[in-house]
Amino acid sequence: MWRNRSYLLRVFLNVLLVGVFVGWGLGYYYVDLLQKLEAYTYDLRLNMTMPGGVDKRVVILDIDEKSLRDEGHWPWPRDRIAKMIELLFDKHEIDVLGFDMVFAEADRSSGLQQLQALANNQLYHVPQFRRQVQMLQPLLDYNRRFAMSLRDKRVVLGYYFDHDPERTAPGVGALPQPILTREEIEGFKLGAADATGYTGNLANLQEHAMGAGYYNASPLVDKDGVFRRFSLVQMYQGQLYEGLSLAMARLAFREPGIRLIYDGDPSDPLALEAVEFAGRTIPVDAEVGALVPYRGKQGSFPYLSATDLLNDRVPEGLLQDAIVLVGATAPGLMDLRNTPVQDIYPGVEVHANLIAGMLDGNVKQQPPYSEGLEFIALVLVGLVLMIVLPRCNPLQALMLFVGMLVVIILINLYAWQRNLVLPLASLLILATILFVLNMSYGFFVESRGKRLITRVFGQYVPPELVAEMAVNPAAFSLEGENRELTVLFSDVRDFTSISEGLDPKELTQLMNEYLTPMTHIIHRHRGTIDKYIGDAVMAFWGAPVPEKEHPRLALLAALDMLTSVEELRKEFAARGWPQITIGIGLNTGNMTVGNMGSEFRKSYTVMGDAVNLGSRLEGLTKNYGAYLIVSDSTRQAVEDIAYRELDLVRVKGKREPVAIYEPLGLENELSDEQRDCLSCYHQALSDYRQQRWQQAQQGFEHLLEKDGDSKLYRLYLERCQQFIERPPPRDWDGVFTFTTK
């Protein structure tokens, strides 16, 4: 009976949850979080499927910092703009030119107005002056020259629509002819933004240009501030005007007009499906907004500095038949957008993406029937999961859940590749919540897994790592596997003589006082204790919890162990105990790790040549008078530590020589004196390996005088003397071979 009640309760909760999502899908209420997640999945799909590369059909003529530096601050004199237009069309033979800017004010930079004022007033009695002014007028009337340069060229000017409801002034400058008049859209209902005013170009300029398009679409910026859509047309005083990108694409196709396509009654704004021109169908939503088909991050279209054009530094043929957009990326002029592909994105490149999308006919569509599809999909997904999940064991439920997610994503991506944008986030969230809800009882199984992990690994690894492992017990196994790890061996020197001077109780107490802080240090650095071998400690890093920084953590732990031993000496001296010193060996390499042993007893340990080398390195610390020796592989993995290369050795059991190093501490913490000694030492070692015995001997003697007592320097002095008396063979490789462990 309890099981039936539990099952019915789970079914009831499932039905309730599905009902909540279906209500949202039908539009009965608005959930801001779901809307944000839907926008996020749209951005994710867009970034995953962007074609990338550079589309050379659309070129951005950039008013950049270089141009401002060479040509002066903006705005430039209109004769310079006229020169740009003439160069683009007459020399470089471009196809269409568009301005992502507005020329709303007259240019008075030539000084013509001042000359005319002088001719009409103070110098009116000087006929020669008045004649000169009249002759200069055609040259100095930059506005007229700019207007004349537009004549008979496929140029689209930019302008700005205002949507402030409190605006009272009708507009500044001149508007182009509407793309659709009141008569042409009579009976049509549009959700297009209704502008309250505008900032247009000078009437003379607008009269000579072939077209104009607005470059702003602020009403269509999504609630999260991301620019995903651009309105192809906007309404002003009952007439429709086209955007800059639409005007340029239409001009490129030599198309005089557009047509609105409805799927149903034109009096229903929701029935609007597309804008058609030149055989191209551009999908739009009810607000006549088209999804911008971003090609990639900034730089998806060629950028050409305007000053290079003006100074004839553009290669021939680069701009032939191109569609050119004039825009600005210089600080203070740049029109910045927050887009799905980049937080700071030039507005002029948004227009370039739209133009390219119209040329290719690959603008994505969010069809009106998407809400109906979402409702059907939510019901189907909800029914399948809420009926099947309660009957599944955890593994079956996981497989069903993952399979459902894969099917949802694949269907959605299939539609996406065919330029259909269908809802995704609501389905994924519904499936996820249903899975979590139905698997909530799994915490019992999880608790059992946590207890197992704690029992098996609690004696090896620190509690915080056990807690991490307990989150996902199935991810950790006792089975043997091969991994790159770092192993540490430490040993108390002269432990036999120490133990002989203490009674068993004191010896036990001393070892506990020593091993406890050593264990804390290893655990604090996320290490795993392998075993205690009398006075020796064996530990490793990188298992059972994978750790990318295992060489660094192991080395820092070793340095802390040496520091801790220094502090222990003071405590032991106060108790009358003998002083202790330790040697530590570290090696990084591939090792076999797992639960190993016999049927009577097993332990989680590491094995392999790399482990044996770590043990050998600990033994070598006595030979070189070092407390810590690491292998070359560990040294290469931890680069911010200063090292002293001790030797090239061939340890017992290995044929290949190994470079061994003594870590001295963090590189940025070495004193100048330490750096000088290290430099002198490496020079002496270099002389030694190149068989310059006299120079090497002098170097080590100098170091010995500065250090006072160094077993390492004395070792090399003895070798130099031996080689001076009995030189090695010609093929001597500088390697010292150890025959004992």
User: How confident is the model at residue 113, as a pLDDT?
Assistant: 59
Q: Considering only CA atoms, which of 557, 716, 547, 717 is closest in space to residue 630? A: 557
Distance between CA atoms of 638 and 156, rounded to whole angstroms? 60
User: How confident is the model at residue 21, as a pLDDT?
Assistant: 65
Backbone torsion region of residue 300, taken as left when φ is above 0, otherwise alpha when ψ lies between -120 and 50, otherwise beta: alpha
**Confidence grade of residue 466 (pLDDT, cut at 50, 70, 90):** low
What average pLDDT does this structure show over 680-704?
A: 91
What share of the chain has pLDDT > 70, as a percent?
A: 84
Domain boundaries, the chain: 2-30+369-435, 61-360, 439-471, 477-667, 671-741
What average pLDDT does this structure show over 708-723?
A: 86
**Confidence grade of residue 445 (pLDDT, cut at 50, 70, 90):** very low
Taking all residues of the chain, what is their mean pLDDT, rounded to a whole number? 84
Q: Tens of pLDDT along 181-197?
A: 988 888 888 877 788 88
DSSP category for residue 91 = I
**Most confident listed range (81-95, 205-219, 446-460, 531-545):** 81-95
CB count within 10 Å of CB 123 equals 15
User: How confident is the model at residue 301, as a pLDDT?
Assistant: 95
Instruction: Give residue for tokens 């009640």.
Output: 5
CB count within 10 Å of CB 533 equals 10
Are 466 and 458 spatial neighbours (Cβ–Cβ below 8 Å)? Answer: yes
What average pLDDT does this structure show over 679-686?
A: 92
What share of the chain has pLDDT > 90, as a percent?
A: 43
Distance between CA atoms of 648 and 659, rounded to whole angstroms? 5
User: How confident is the model at residue 446, as a pLDDT?
Assistant: 45
CA distances from 460 to 420, 452, 474, 523, 608 (A): 55, 14, 18, 9, 19
User: How confident is the model at residue 384, as a pLDDT?
Assistant: 85
**Confidence grade of residue 44 (pLDDT, cut at 50, 70, 90):** very high
Buried b (16+ CB within 10 A) or exposed e, 287-326: bbbbbbbbbbeeebbbbbbbbbbbeeebeeeebeebbbbb
**Confidence grade of residue 2 (pLDDT, cut at 50, 70, 90):** very low
User: How confident is the model at residue 3, as a pLDDT?
Assistant: 39
**Confidence grade of residue 69 (pLDDT, cut at 50, 70, 90):** very high
Distance between CA atoms of 374 and 24, rounded to whole angstroms? 10
Q: Tens of pLDDT along 571-585?
A: 988 888 888 899 999
* Whether residue 614 has pLDDT greater than 50: yes
Q: Tens of pLDDT along 300-313?
A: 999 999 999 999 99
What average pLDDT does this structure show over 442-467?
A: 55
What average pLDDT does this structure show over 114-143?
A: 65
Locate all alpha helices (DSSP H) within 26-126, ordered by sequence. 32-49, 65-71, 78-86, 112-120
**Confidence grade of residue 4 (pLDDT, cut at 50, 70, 90):** very low
Q: Tens of pLDDT along 541-567?
A: 988 888 899 999 999 999 999 999 999
- The lowest-confidence range among 123-132, 361-370, 516-525 is 123-132
* Bridge partners, residue 212, by sequence: 157
Which pair of tokens denotes residue 241? 């005007």
Which pair of tokens denotes residue 60? 């951005």
Which pTM value belongs to this model? 0.57
Distance between CA atoms of 278 and 402, rounded to whole angstroms? 45
- Of 473 and 636, the structure prediction assigns the larger pLDDT to 636
- The lowest-confidence range among 274-278, 407-411, 461-465, 653-657 is 461-465
- Of 98 and 366, the structure prediction assigns the larger pLDDT to 98
233 residue type, one letter: V
User: How confident is the model at residue 730, as a pLDDT?
Assistant: 79
Which CATH superfamily hosts domain 477-667? Nucleotide cyclase, GGDEF domain (3.30.70.1230)
Contacts of 601 (CB under 8 A, 6+ apart): none
